């Protein structure tokens, strides 16, 4: 049984009839290779949408170049890999490659197909949601959502950091779950959320419109507040306290343009961001190192240049231990020893 590319595109767009959907889903169950084909096509479509956002090229022409007729056996993988390479070239920006990977799975309770898109270390992933809202994911982040928003809310789950441009829909609020005790509800606006599991805080920075923050206090009661543009909400996970402050939004959104901006940032915050950006681990030998605060802006600098700046700015010393083995293996990361 073969399924035409155009049918798969319509399936991803959720515009097929119930009978046609059933045929595609039956085809998906016949082999893991078929599922992989659908996932790769989904990824191509998402990247093509990113090109549309960037207004860099004629996206209809771009997708025509990437869309290939699937061939049997080995020809399938080769054709799709060539397409993905071409897209990566189109979307390349200094230091960051706009890339990611996705997982499709079914929700057995309501029959929805769930999508999870992740950004790999040192990279940014950009894509559109079923309602045409735009999302940028920072390194080591993931977003999970239904392939179509059929309920009264547009619900997504964020792990890590993401920037959202939400399409306004007064009848269907957009809700982000960023942890068991923290959520953000909006109707239509632009904002940044940082909710890495290993960070001590969850941060929401508003650039345009308004958002409603809902969190759980230490006593178990609910905390709610509404943010205004250029405000940031900082939620302490341990103490469960919520603080609102005026900020320069560029500091929190610069990562979308390949920048890392620090403004009187504590050293633990600096090392966490550098770890995700450069895919390295830090081993702090002297805890006094963590007393330093850093103000800096980095974009195209190599890791060694950044470490030299930190050495001058805070008086630290460091040793970079490069990974043993094949240097081309991007999954193997360096260890940086830091001491005073």
Residues 6+ apart with CB under 8 A from 115: 42, 102, 103, 104, 144, 145, 146, 147
* pLDDT number for residue 86: 39
**How many domains would you assign to the chain?**
3
CATH number at residue 226: 2.60.120.1440
One domain, residues 111 and 216:
yes
How does residue 101 score in pLDDT terms, banded at 50, 70 and 90? low
Decide if pLDDT at 77 tops 80.
no
Decide if pLDDT at 62 tops 60.
no
One domain, residues 148 and 273:
no
* pLDDT number for residue 318: 95
One domain, residues 140 and 279:
no
One domain, residues 238 and 295:
no
Residues 6+ apart with CB under 8 A from 124: 96, 97, 98, 136, 137, 138, 139, 255, 256, 258
* pLDDT number for residue 110: 58
Decide if pLDDT at 216 tops 80.
yes
One domain, residues 197 and 331:
no
* pLDDT number for residue 335: 92
One domain, residues 239 and 264:
no
Between 187 and 213, name the one with better pLDDT: 213
Decide if pLDDT at 73 tops 80.
no
* pLDDT number for residue 97: 41
One domain, residues 67 and 182:
no
One domain, residues 201 and 327:
no
Domain end point (choices 254, 285, 311)? 254
**Of 309, 340, 307, 301, nearest in space to 321 by CA:** 307
H/E run at residue 192? strand 190-195
| Chain mean pLDDT for the chain | 79
How does residue 249 score in pLDDT terms, banded at 50, 70 and 90? very high
One domain, residues 19 and 138:
no
One domain, residues 118 and 171:
yes
One domain, residues 100 and 218:
yes
One domain, residues 208 and 296:
no
- d(CA 124, CA 59) in angstroms, rounded, equals 20
Determine the structural domain holding residue 239 and report its residue range: 96-254
* pLDDT number for residue 146: 86
- d(CA 219, CA 43) in angstroms, rounded, equals 43
Between 336 and 40, name the one with better pLDDT: 336
- d(CA 37, CA 31) in angstroms, rounded, equals 10
* pLDDT number for residue 327: 46
Domain end point (choices 254, 271, 298)? 254
Pick the range with the lowest mean pLDDT from 69-78, 306-315, 325-334. Answer: 69-78
Between 285 and 69, name the one with better pLDDT: 285
Pick the range with the lowest mean pLDDT from 26-35, 83-92, 95-104, 112-121. Answer: 83-92
Pick the range with the lowest mean pLDDT from 19-33, 138-152, 269-283. Answer: 19-33
Residues 219-242: what's their mean pLDDT? Answer: 94
How does residue 100 score in pLDDT terms, banded at 50, 70 and 90? low
What is the tens place of the pLDDT at every residue in 283-322? Answer: 999 999 999 999 999 988 888 999 999 999 999 999 998 8
* pLDDT number for residue 45: 61
CATH number at residue 325: 3.55.50.30
Rounded percentage of the chain residues whose pLDDT exceeds 90: 49
Decide if pLDDT at 260 tops 60.
yes
Domain end point (choices 201, 221, 254)? 254
What is the tens place of the pLDDT at every residue in 154-195? Answer: 999 999 999 999 999 988 999 999 999 999 999 889 999 999
């Amino acid at each position: 049984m073969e399924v035409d590319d155009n049918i798969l595109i319509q399936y991803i767009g959720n515009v097929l009839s119930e009978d046609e959907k059933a045929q595609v889903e039956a085809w998906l169950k016949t082999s893991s290779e078929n599922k992989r084909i659908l996932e790769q096509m989904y990824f191509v479509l998402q990247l093509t949408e990113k090109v549309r956002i960037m207004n860099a090229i004629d996206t209809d022409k771009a997708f025509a170049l990437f869309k290939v007729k699937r061939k049997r056996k080995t020809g399938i993988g080769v054709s799709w890999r060539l397409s993905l390479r071409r897209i990566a070239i189109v979307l390349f920006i200094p230091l960051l490659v706009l890339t990611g990977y996705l997982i499709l799975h079914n929700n057995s309770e309501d029959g929805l197909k769930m999508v999870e898109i992740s950004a790999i270390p040192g990279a940014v992933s950009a894509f559109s949601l079923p309602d045409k809202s735009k999302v940028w994911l920072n390194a080591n982040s993931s977003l999970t959502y239904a392939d179509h928003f059929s309920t009264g809310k547009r619900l997504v789950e964020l792990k890590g950091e993401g920037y959202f441009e939400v399409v306004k829909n007064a009848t269907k609020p957009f809700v982000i779950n960023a942890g068991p005790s923290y959520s953000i509800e909006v109707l239509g606006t632009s904002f940044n959320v940082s909710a890495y599991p290993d960070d001590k805080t969850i941060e929401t920075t508003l650039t345009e419109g308004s958002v409603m923050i809902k969190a759980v206090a230490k006593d178990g009661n609910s905390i709610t507040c509404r943010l205004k543009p250029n405000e940031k909400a900082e939620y302490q996970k341990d103490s469960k306290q919520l603080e609102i402050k005026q900020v320069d939004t560029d500091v929190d959104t610069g990562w979308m343009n390949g920048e890392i901006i620090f403004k009187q940032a504590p050293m633990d915050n600096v090392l966490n961001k550098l770890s995700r950006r450069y895919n390295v681990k830090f081993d702090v030998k002297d805890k006094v190192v963590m007393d330093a605060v850093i103000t800096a802006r980095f974009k195209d600098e190599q890791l060694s240049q950044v470490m030299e700046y930190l050495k001058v700015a805070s008086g630290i010393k460091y040793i970079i231990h490069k990974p043993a083995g094949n240097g081309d293996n991007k999954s193997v990361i360096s260890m940086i020893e830091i001491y005073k």
